[in-house]
Structures are given as C-alpha cells and as structure tokens.
C-alpha cells in the first residue's frame, strides 16, 4: 500500500470519528479528505534491440501533474504515450511520478536492451546448422541460451551474449554433404556486427593465445579471421585462397579424428574436443619453433592423432595408425582451391563423405587392402574416380622446404628431405638433386645420399627438386662436413722416366689436405746417387748414362708429424736421340755495307754456300734438308756427304733480300739456321770464265719471268775500271732498294716491279759512248746523242725486253741528267768512298722519282734576274711535268689554300713547299714539291756523315702516292677498251693485273656503284640516251692512295699529274676509220669520237660529264663515244642514238 494512501485513510477515519460525537455540542461535521493519485504505466515491447524503440503508455487519476525520471526525464501529462529509444545493453528503468491534492504516486517499468550479431557458418557454407551461444561452456544448446538456425547460405542472426558461438550439424552447401555432429565454434570476445564461425576460429577458441592464430598457421596478418568470410573472398589465388584451404583442411582432419573415435569407442562426440587436440599440437609446435606450423605433413597428423588417442583412450594398432596418418597427410595437401569451383567442391565432397567413411574402416582395421593402397599409394586417382574428375587437375601445389645435415669428412650422410615437405605423400612423385660444389648426391628409397669430396671439410650445399604431376618445387640442403685428420700424400708416379745425360729428375709434389707441416726424406737402394733439396727437387749427383745403368730405385718417406707414408719410386733412364749438328757460314759481303750480301747465281740459278752438317746416329744421306724463304718459297738444296759445300737452287724464288731458313732433321730432332742473302736471278754472263771481261745481266729484284709484274726497270753500269767500283755500284743498288722498302712504296716495288741489272765489262772507257761537252749551256752535262741512245738500246735489248725506264751509272765524270723521251737518266759514281756512294744512292732515288712518280720539280718564274732563257717559259727538258704554280704538283684534295701551308716563304728549310735558288734548267728560282724529299734539295748531311737517311727523305706522302699510281697504270689501270659483241651490245673491259691481292676493282654504271667481280662489264644496248661505264682501282686497306676520285669529274683527282691535253678524235675499237688508224690518240686524259667529224680540234677542255654532253661542240658535231682516263681508273661513254 502506498504510504501516502495509508495516512490519508487514517485521517479520513479520524475525521469521521470526531464528527459523530452526539448532537448536543452544537458543532459542524468535517468535510471528507482527497484520495492520492492512482497510476497505470506499461511498456511495449519490454525487450528491444539496442537502438530500437519501445512505447511507454501511462494514465492517472486524482493527479494534476506528472514527471519522468530514471532512463527518461522531464514533465509529462497526466496521461499519454511516448516512444523511447533504447541505447544501452541491459535493463533500462523508466519511472513516472504523478501528483494531486491527495499526494503523489510513482510507477516503474523496465525495458531490456539487447544486441544481436549477424554471421555465417563456414566450412563451405553450412546450411540448416543449429547456431547458439553457449554461455556455460558445455557445448549444448540449453533452453535459456540464445539459438537460431543458419539459412540456405549459411547466414544467421542471433541475440548476442558472451560465451561460445557454436554451429552444430547442418549440410555443406556446395557438396550437399550432411555434417552430423560437426561442431565448429567461435569464442566470443566482445560484440561485433558480424561473426564468422569457421574451423580456424574453432582452433583459436582452444588456444592459450588466440591472437597468434594467424602466425601459427601462416595466415596473412591483414585478415581478421573472426569477422572474415573465407568463402565469399576465395578465388584471389593468394592469401584468401590460403585461408579457405586451411579451414577446410582443419575440418577434414578434426571430423576424421571425431569419426574414428566415435566409431571405435561407440561414442557420439561432437567435434570440439578434436579441434582442441589439433589446437594444442599447433600451439605447442609453434612455441617450440616460432615458425608457421604445416598441418599437411604426416608428422603433424601423427601428433594430432596421438593426442586424440591419449585423450579419448582410443585403441588403434600400429599398422592402422600408420595407414591413418598416411591417408590423412596424403589427403590434406589436396584440399585447396582448385582451378574451377567444380573441382574444389569435388575435393570437399570426397573429404567430407568418402574419406570419412573410409578412414573409420582404415582405423578399425576393416578396410580392404585395395582401399588402403588407394590412400597410401594412389590417392589422386582414387579421388578422381570417386568424383568423376581428372586426377591431373587436382594435384596440389607442392612445397619443398630447406634442410640441413651434419657429417664427418669422407663420410656419406643420408638425408630425408621429404620429411618437412608439403606434397601428396600418397600419390606418385619424383625426386632429383644436383651435386654440391664439394660433394656428390644420389637417391635411394626416396632418401638423398650426400658424399663429400675426398678430404673436404667445411660447408657445402646442393638443391633438390620435388615433382608431382605437373607441379615442381625446389629447396636447398646445407651440409656441414666436420674435419678429421688426413694423412699426407706423395703425388708422383711410381715410375719416372728421365733422359740420359742430364741431372734433373723431378720436383717431388707433396700435399696434405690439413695443411700440416711436412717432412720428406730419401732412402732406398740407390739413394746415394741422388740429391733431394729442401724444396723437394730431386736430381742426380752425376748425369746418368743409359749404356752404364738404365734404372734406379729409391724410397720416399713423408710425415706430417702424425702419420707417415712411403712411396717406392723407380727411375727409368731413356736413351735419347742426339740432334744433328750444322755449320753455316754467311757469304762475305763484298759490297762493304750493312745489308745482305749480293749472291750471283749460275746459268741454272744455283749457287754454293758453306754448309756442313752431321748426326752421330744417322748417316748424312738419311737426314732431311729443307730451305724456305721469308716469303714461304721452297728452295731445293743439294749436299754431298763429307762435303762442306751445299748448293741452293733458287729457280722458284724472287730476287731480293731474303732470309732462307735451312733446317736439318733426323726425323725426331731438327736444327735450323738462317742464311741472310740478297738473291739475284741469272740472265746472262758473256764470259763465264772471267765475268768481269764481258757483260753480266741479272735480276736484282722480282722476277722477269713473272708476267704479272708489269713494270721493268733496268740499271746499267758503265765505265767502271775495277771490281771495287762494281761492288760500290752494287751497294748503291741495294741501299736504294732498302730505302724504298722503308716506306709504304715497298708494296709497289715488291709486287709490281722487276729490276734488272747490266754490268758492262771492266774498263775506263764507256761501252756505250758516254761523254760530256755537247751542250754549251753546261759543258759538264752528259750528252744525249742518237749514237749513244742506239748503243744503249742495243745493249739493253740483248738482255731485257719491254723496259719502262733505265738508269745508267757511269764512271765517266759529268753532271747527271734525264731524258724522258728516251726513258733514261744518267749519273756518275766516281769513287768507292762512302759519301760518293751515298750521293749516288740519293741521285738514283731522285731520278727514279722522275721516271715513276710523275712529279716535276721546276716551275716558270718572272723573278729577276733571269738567265739567257725565256723567263716566261720553262724548259720542258728534262722534266716529266712542268707547271706554273707550285700547288699544281700536289693533289688538289691535299691543299685547299696555298697561303695556309706552313713553310711557304723564302726559307730553304722545312717540310712544306719552299722557295729557294737553283734548279737544273729554266728560271733562276723555282719551287719544289716538298722541301725535304729526294725530289727536293740534296740531303747533304746524310751523304757527308754516312748516317741513316730519315724516312721522310725517301719520298714524301705525295711522291709515294704518285709512284703507286704510275705503277698501277703500268699494271693496266688505264687499259680500258670497248667492243660490240654478237648481240650488238657493248663489252667494256680492262686487263689490270694485281699479283699482290692488295687492290680491288670497283665498277660504276652512270656514276652508281654496281656489283661486279669480273674484268668485263656488259653494257646492254639502248635506243637512246647517254650511258657510261667506269671502274676505279682501290686499296682494300687504305695505305698509299689517299686521294678521292669523283666518277663524274674528269679532272678532280690532281693537277699536274696529267698536263692538259688537246682533245683528239678517237677511232677506238668501236669503229673503223682509215684516216685515224693510230689508236694512240685514244690514250690521253680525254678522247672523243664525234659523230659529224670536221677535223682535229685542240684546246677543247671539259671538266666533267655534264659539261661534255651539254657543250656547244656536242651540239654542233654530235657525240658518238668517249674515253676518259682518271688517276685511279677510266671511263667509257656512249651516245646510243649515234651508235
């Protein structure tokens, strides 16, 4: 009873009692009191989800006002209703108090606020599972505990309470497999909007430290396993698939352990204890290793199985235990996300159905041998047949894990590398391994055998590869080889062969793999015959003689201070072959110079040398004698036994300085020596009994019988009174050739030239009438008279044909001169002293330059004073060319601006064009092409001092190039010709010959290079237009020819080499013109055949192809064909309309 109501009633009763006192007092009766308020207060609903509303309804009587307190506040009407939102978990109390005249009254209602959690039951999704929150840890859904059922997608919503969120039973959605008694759980540690019940959360529920669940199973740290849906996120090929895989593997393992136990123990356990067993083993191994636990291995399966056997007192014999662990460890790696959902589902269906049935039979021993074999040896095919899928497609990824082992030196070790690897142990696989750096491997019964190399200790490693289906994985194995003591070793053969007559035997090689200090000692029957040094060098005390004693025996003892080894060694003496001996005497150098002595051959091109040889064991007749020149030419050599003279036949050799290697061989040993001589080739000796009383002719360089050498040069001695002067003459010739050989011009001389020599009989009188005093301009100059030329030509013709140029060196005193028209120059050699000889060499070089380099050395000048000759003209005698400007003697490509040339001044020294007094003929002053060359001033220092002539004094770059061009012309560079063939086409040809292989010929058609290896070119007939064919001679490797030659520019190569020539009509080989039968006119720089010939025309010059065909002359007379001869080739052009 409300206290206020009780007081009011009492008062009312009191008041009533007072008023009934008897009527004689005359007093009034009191009024009755007001009753207190009455309240009706309710809530609907009284339990709501946090954040939801409940409706409060109240009414009152005897009240004038109401007020709210507790979970709400403020004044309220005396009656009404109001929606309130529940924001906290648990009971919320709402109070309303109403007041009136009779007092106040209060009423209270309580509303429960609760939270709920959405979630999913995941193995795959499990539908129809009983889901409840186990608040008392008995894993049974008590009547007072919140519960629900997972829907067709495994989802559920449940009122949250602290405890274990449990899923029991249900059906696997994908495989439609009933999962009776499968219990998975999630230990709740606080509310969240979503919870996942998975096998992984089930393992975490029983761990001492659930926060390490990701680390223990290798799950990525970014995944919250308690709220993450593995099914919804699978298929990434990475961390999510791995989580899905681990969950399914845990279910398969736990469910199998549960079913085995229930079958054998006739129990009805649910799965919590089996997840607990698995959790204990995982956490134990992780705490020991601090590395991810591989639950797929047989080792782990055995641990989990033994845990259950002990905890549940299950009786399984050893064979059955082995089969169970082998079957489960074979199955677990296969449980993973496959390439298709169908394959993944098929594996899960098998693992949750067929496997669960079979594993019970395997454990209780009732499984057939066939079933056991299927799981232990051929599981993939068994699954494939059961689920109607391809076994190759379900082979799991495999993982080989690194291993280590320890062994001792020289001891093989056996390593079970598969023990910690992840693969299907119950399916076929293969194993291979590489060798280590210091050891070898082999495989036996799936075990790796490692054998360290002999005496090796330290660390070694090798790799092995595990293959299963189309999957492979490799890992490294590290082996530690512990050292043991090794004995030393004497590393020599048991028999040593030693040549007689020598004391050296061998160096005794010893070794010790432990690098111990070694001591070697010598013993045995013949130890006294030997010395053994501190460096282990074994020698005879006296050189052995095979004929005296041919074998020795010794004993070698080697110790490392711990062990001693002994090696008996036999030493066999070899009877050696004695090498031949030879004695070669170099011929005397009668020429008195430092060059090879000149050797004159007889009429068979043979000569004798002082050579003797012998062999103590082989007759001379059985020895092989060979001789070979520097150029590789084989020379025959003849020798009579007992003689000190040998005869060489140089018929196949070229004349010139050469090294002849002479070798003597007995078939085993060869000795050699080098004969250094200047070979000559015999041409003629008019008086063989006294060569100096008649003429002698020989080849000094080259070979006159070689038709490919197109340049013939002859040097003639004249009026030499004695043999000493002849020797000096020969020294001049050798020195001159040697100087050329010091320049790049040597390749021209050695390949294209044949140099002949005619030595006339000894006399103070000239054999050809050489004399002076015939020219009033210089009485000392040698005379060039017809009688002298006739005598010269007659003398030369007796011995040499087709001579290009000649030099006469005479004992008649006079001033040297050249006559280009007669192809001859003459100079003197008046004594045998060194300076005279050297000056003769210089002049010979100079005149040879005139003959073969095409370079002039005199120019016109208007300088005063002039001599009696015309100062505005230059003498054409005796120069090859003559120009009025110095730069015209050099290539235009070499000098762009004459004023920029160093040394272009009045000095008489320097290497460029100089200006100096004194020329042979012509003006008082003149230019020379390059000051310090043989074509320039006399190198007086070289002549007087007898020193070595500097190379730059031989010929300058320009002179060598010009010399090469002249030689190439003689080899046929300008031998172009053209003729019609049977088809009326034009065949253009040349007969250039290159025996050196240094040059090549490039062909051009209308200025464009074409491919053509022949010496002919076919120009096919056209109906109209101009065409021209050109060829250019080119060095394969640029050495001397440094100018360029524009095909279309007729005179761009150089000025001065060909002086401007008049234009001639050219009958050539294409037409027959009786008026111009002499085709020599066609061998000038440019020769033209006009179609409408009006006569000979001179002074028409065309610089290039375009100016020729566009000229007024062509327009007037028409052009039939032309020849053009450039420095490095030639051109033939034709106007097809005129042919």
> Is residue 688 pLDDT above 90, yes or no?
no
pLDDT-derived band of residue 1113, with 50, 70 and 90 as boundaries? Answer: confident
pLDDT at 547: 74
Q: How far is CA 623 from the centre of its chain?
A: 52
Sign of the alpha-carbon torsion through 348, 352, 353, 356? positive
Looking at 3.40.50.720, 3.40.50.1470, 3.40.720.10, 3.40.390.10, the CATH number of the domain 681-853 comes to 3.40.390.10
pLDDT at 753: 92
Phi, psi angles (nearest 5°) of residue 278: -65, -45
pLDDT at 17: 27
pLDDT at 895: 36
pLDDT-derived band of residue 752, with 50, 70 and 90 as boundaries? Answer: very high
Sheet containing 530-532, strands listed edge to edge, beginning at the edge strand earlier in sequence: 504-507, 537-540, 530-532
pLDDT-derived band of residue 304, with 50, 70 and 90 as boundaries? Answer: very high
Q: What is the pLDDT of residues 393-435, one digit of tens each?
A: 888 778 888 999 999 988 999 999 887 787 777 778 889 999 9
> Is residue 85 pLDDT above 60, yes or no?
yes
Q: What is the pLDDT of residues 925-959, one digit of tens each?
A: 333 333 334 454 455 556 666 666 554 445 566 66
Alpha helices for 781-892 (secondary structure H): 786-797, 834-852
Average pLDDT, the chain: 82
How does DSSP assign 463-526, residue by residue? Answer: EEEEEETTEEEEEEEEEEEE------EE-S-SEEEEETT--EEEEPPEE-TT----EEEEESTT
Please compute the mean of the pLDDT values over residues 972-989 and round it to a whole number. 90
pLDDT-derived band of residue 387, with 50, 70 and 90 as boundaries? Answer: very high
Please compute the mean of the pLDDT values over residues 40-46 and round it to a whole number. 94
User: What CATH number belongs to 38-112?
Assistant: 2.60.40.10
Listed ranges 810-814, 841-845, 889-893; the one with the highest mean pLDDT: 810-814
Phi, psi angles (nearest 5°) of residue 732: -55, -50
The CA-based dihedral angle spanning residues 527, 528, 533, 539, taken in that order and rounded to the nearest 10 degrees: -90
Angle at 1063 between CA 1057 and CA 1067, to 5 degrees: 115
710-731 CB burial, b ≥16 within 10 A, e <16: bbbbbbbbbbbeeeebbbbbbb
Nearest-angstrom CA–CA distance, 843 and 849: 10
| CATH fold of 489-574 | Immunoglobulin-like (2.60.40)
> Is residue 871 pLDDT above 70, yes or no?
no
Query: Higher model confidence: residue 370 or residue 880?
Result: 370
Q: How many CA atoms lie within 13 A of 534 on its CB side?
A: 0
Tokens 């606080």, residue? 190
pLDDT at 778: 78
Query: Higher model confidence: residue 894 or residue 955?
Result: 955
> So what's the architecture of 581-679 in CATH?
Sandwich (2.60)
Please compute the mean of the pLDDT values over residues 144-148 and round it to a whole number. 91
Please compute the mean of the pLDDT values over residues 487-491 and round it to a whole number. 88
How does DSSP assign 845-868, residue by residue? Answer: HHHHHHHHS-----B----SS--S
Q: Which helix (H) or strand (E) holds 456?
A: none
> Is residue 571 pLDDT above 90, yes or no?
yes
> Is residue 106 pLDDT above 50, yes or no?
yes
The CA-based dihedral angle spanning residues 773, 776, 782, 788, taken in that order and rounded to the nearest 10 degrees: -80
Q: What is the pLDDT of residues 987-1033, one digit of tens each?
A: 999 999 999 899 999 999 999 999 998 999 999 999 999 999 999 99
Domains 38-112 and 403-482 share a fold: yes
Domain ranges of the chain: 38-112, 122-394, 403-482, 489-574, 581-679, 681-853, 859-931, 972-1138
| CATH fold of 403-482 | Immunoglobulin-like (2.60.40)
pLDDT at 31: 62
Pick from 574-583, 789-798, 850-859: least confident = 850-859
pLDDT at 471: 84
SS3 26: coil
Query: Higher model confidence: residue 974 or residue 13?
Result: 974
pLDDT-derived band of residue 880, with 50, 70 and 90 as boundaries? Answer: very low
pLDDT-derived band of residue 892, with 50, 70 and 90 as boundaries? Answer: very low
pLDDT at 641: 80
The proportion of the chain whose per-residue pLDDT surpasses 70, expressed as a percent, equals 83
pLDDT at 701: 96
pLDDT at 425: 74
Please compute the mean of the pLDDT values over residues 1059-1069 and round it to a whole number. 43
Tokens of 391: 């076994």
Query: Higher model confidence: residue 1128 or residue 1037?
Result: 1037
- Which pairs from 352-358 meet CB under 8 Å and 24+ separation? 352/123, 352/172, 352/175, 352/177, 352/179, 352/251, 352/252, 352/255, 353/175, 353/177, 354/386, 355/252, 355/256, 355/327, 355/331, 356/255, 356/256, 356/259, 358/327
pLDDT-derived band of residue 1052, with 50, 70 and 90 as boundaries? Answer: low
Reading phi first (left if > 0) and then psi (alpha if -120 to 50, else beta), residue 725 is in alpha
Nearest-angstrom CA–CA distance, 914 and 905: 6
Residues in the chain: 1139
Please compute the mean of the pLDDT values over residues 373-397 and round it to a whole number. 89
> Is residue 1087 pLDDT above 70, yes or no?
no
The proportion of the chain whose per-residue pLDDT surpasses 90, expressed as a percent, equals 53
pLDDT-derived band of residue 1122, with 50, 70 and 90 as boundaries? Answer: confident
Please compute the mean of the pLDDT values over residues 293-317 and round it to a whole number. 93
């Amino acid at each position: 009873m409300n206290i206020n109501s009780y007081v009011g009633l009492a008062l009312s009763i009191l008041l009533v009692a007072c008023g009934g006192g008897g009527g004689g007092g005359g007093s009034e009766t009191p009024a009755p009191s007001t009753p207190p308020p009455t309240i009706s207060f309710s809530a609907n609903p009284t339990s709501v989800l946090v954040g939801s509303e409940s409706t409060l309804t109240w009414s009152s009587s005897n009240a004038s006002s109401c007020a709210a307190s507790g979970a709400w506040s403020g004044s309220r009407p005396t009656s009404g209703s109001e929606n309130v939102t529940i924001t906290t978990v648990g009971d919320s109390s709402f109070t309303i108090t109403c007041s009136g005249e009779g007092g106040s009254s209060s009423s209270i209602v309580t509303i429960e606020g609760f939270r709920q959690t959405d979630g999913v039951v995941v193995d795959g999704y499990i539908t129809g599972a009983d889901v409840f929150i186990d608040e008392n840890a008995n894993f049974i859904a008590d009547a007072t505990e919140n519960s629900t059922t997972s829907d067709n997608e495994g989802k559920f919503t449940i009122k949250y309470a602290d405890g274990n969120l449990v899923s029991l039973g249900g059906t696997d959605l994908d495989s439609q497999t009933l999962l009776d008694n499968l219990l998975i759980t999630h230990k709740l540690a606080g509310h969240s909007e979503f919870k996942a019940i998975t096998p992984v959360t089930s393992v975490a529920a029983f761990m001492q430290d659930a926060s390490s669940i990701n680390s223990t199973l290798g799950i990525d740290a970014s995944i919250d396993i308690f709220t993450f849906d593995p099914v919804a996120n699978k298929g990434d090929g990475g961390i999510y698939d791995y989580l899905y895989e681990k969950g399914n593997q845990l279910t398969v393992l736990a469910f199998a352990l549960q079913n085995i136990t229930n079958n054998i123990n006739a129990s009805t356990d649910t799965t919590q204890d089996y997840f607990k067993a698995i959790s204990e083993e995982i956490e134990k191994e992780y705490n020991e290793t601090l590395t991810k636990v591989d639950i797929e291995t047989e080792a782990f399966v055995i641990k989990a199985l033994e845990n259950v056997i002990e905890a549940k007192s299950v009786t399984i014999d050893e064979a059955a235990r082995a089969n169970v662990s082998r079957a489960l460890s074979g199955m677990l790696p296969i449980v993973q996300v496959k390439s298709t959902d169908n394959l993944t589902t098929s594996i899960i269906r098998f693992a949750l159905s067929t496997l669960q049935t079979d594993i019970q039979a395997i454990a209780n021993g009732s499984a057939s041998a066939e079933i056991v074999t299927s799981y232990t040896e051929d599981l993939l095919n068994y699954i494939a047949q059961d689920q109607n899928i391809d076994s190759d497609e379900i082979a799991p990824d495999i993982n080989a894990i690194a291993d280590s082992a320890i062994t001792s030196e020289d001891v093989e070790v056996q390593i079970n590398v598969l023990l910690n690897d992840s693969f299907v142990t119950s399916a076929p696989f293969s194993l291979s391994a590489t060798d280590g750096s210091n050891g070898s491997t082999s495989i036996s019964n799936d075990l790796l055998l490692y054998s360290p190399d002999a005496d090796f200790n330290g660390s070694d490693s090798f790799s092995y590869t595990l293959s299963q289906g189309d999957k492979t994985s490799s890992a490294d194995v590290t082996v530690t080889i512990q050292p043991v003591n090794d004995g030393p070793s004497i590393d020599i053969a048991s028999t040593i062969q030693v040549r007689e007559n020598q004391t050296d035997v061998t160096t005794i090689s010893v070794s010790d793999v432990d690098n111990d200090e070694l001591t070697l000692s010598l013993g045995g029957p013949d130890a006294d015959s030997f010395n053994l040094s501190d460096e282990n060098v074994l020698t005879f005390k006296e050189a052995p003689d095979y004929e005296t004693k041919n074998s020795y025996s010794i004993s070698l003892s080697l110790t490392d201070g711990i062990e001693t080894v002994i090696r008996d060694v036999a030493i066999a003496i070899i009877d050696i072959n004695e090498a031949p001996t030879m004695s070669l005497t170099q011929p005397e150098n009668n020429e008195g110079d430092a060059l090879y002595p000149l050797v004159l051959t007889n009429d068979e091109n043979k000569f004798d040398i002082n050579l003797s040889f012998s062999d103590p064991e082989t007759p001379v007749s059985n020895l092989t004698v060979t001789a070979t020149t520097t150029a590789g030419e084989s020379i025959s050599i003849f020798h009579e036994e007992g003689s000190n003279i040998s005869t060489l036949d140089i018929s196949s050799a070229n004349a010139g300085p050469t090294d002849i290697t002479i070798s003597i061989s007995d078939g085993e040993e060869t000795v050699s020596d080098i004969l250094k001589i200047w070979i000559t080739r015999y041409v003629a000796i008019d008086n063989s009994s006294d060569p100096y009383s008649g003429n002698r002719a020989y080849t000094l360089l080259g070979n006159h019988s070689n038709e490919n050498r197109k340049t013939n040069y002859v040097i003639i001695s004249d009026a030499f009174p004695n043999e000493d002067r002849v020797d000096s003459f020969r020294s001049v010739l050798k020195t001159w050739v040697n100087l050329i050989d010091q320049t790049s011009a040597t390749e021209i001389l050695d390949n294209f030239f044949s140099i002949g020599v005619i030595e006339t009989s000894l006399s103070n009188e000239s054999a050809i009438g050489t004399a002076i005093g015939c020219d009033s301009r210089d009485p000392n100059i040698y005379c060039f008279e017809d009688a002298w030329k006739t005598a010269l030509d007659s003398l030369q013709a007796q011995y040499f044909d087709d001579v290009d140029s000649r030099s006469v060196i005479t004992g008649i005193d006079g001033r040297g001169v050249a006559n280009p028209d007669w192809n001859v120059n003459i100079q003197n050699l008046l004594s045998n002293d060194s300076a005279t000889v050297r000056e003769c060499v210089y002049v010979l070089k100079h005149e040879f330059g005139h003959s073969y380099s095409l370079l002039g050395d005199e120019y016109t000048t208007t300088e005063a004073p002039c001599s009696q000759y015309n100062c505005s003209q230059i003498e054409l005698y005796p120069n090859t060319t003559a120009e009025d400007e110095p730069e015209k003697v050099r290539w235009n490509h070499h000098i762009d601006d004459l004023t920029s040339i160093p040394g272009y001044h009045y000095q008489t020294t320097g290497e460029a064009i100089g200006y100096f007094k004194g020329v042979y003929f012509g003006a008082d002053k003149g230019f020379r092409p390059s000051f310090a060359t043989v074509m320039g001033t006399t190198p007086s220092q070289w002549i007087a001092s007898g020193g070595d002539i500097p190379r730059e004094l031989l010929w300058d770059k320009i002179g060598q190039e010009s010399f090469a061009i002249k030689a190439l012309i003689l080899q046929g560079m300008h031998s172009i010709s053209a003729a019609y063939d049977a088809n009326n086409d034009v065949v253009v040809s040349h007969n250039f010959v290159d025996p050196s292989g240094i040059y090549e010929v490039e062909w051009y058609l209308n200025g464009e290079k074409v491919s053509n290896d022949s010496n002919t070119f076919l120009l096919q007939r056209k109906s109209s237009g101009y065409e021209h064919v050109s060829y250019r001679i080119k060095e394969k490797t640029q050495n001397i020819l440094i100018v360029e030659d524009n095909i279309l520019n007729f005179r761009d190569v150089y000025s001065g080499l060909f002086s401007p020539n008049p234009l001639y009509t050219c009958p050539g080989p294409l037409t027959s013109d009786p008026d111009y039968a002499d085709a020599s006119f066609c061998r000038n720089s440019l020769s033209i055949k006009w179609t409408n010939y009006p006569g000979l025309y001179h002074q028409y010059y065309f610089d290039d192809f375009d100016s020729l065909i566009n000229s007024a002359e062509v327009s007037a007379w028409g052009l039939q064909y032309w020849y053009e001869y450039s420095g490095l080739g030639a051109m033939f052009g034709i106007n097809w309309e005129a042919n």
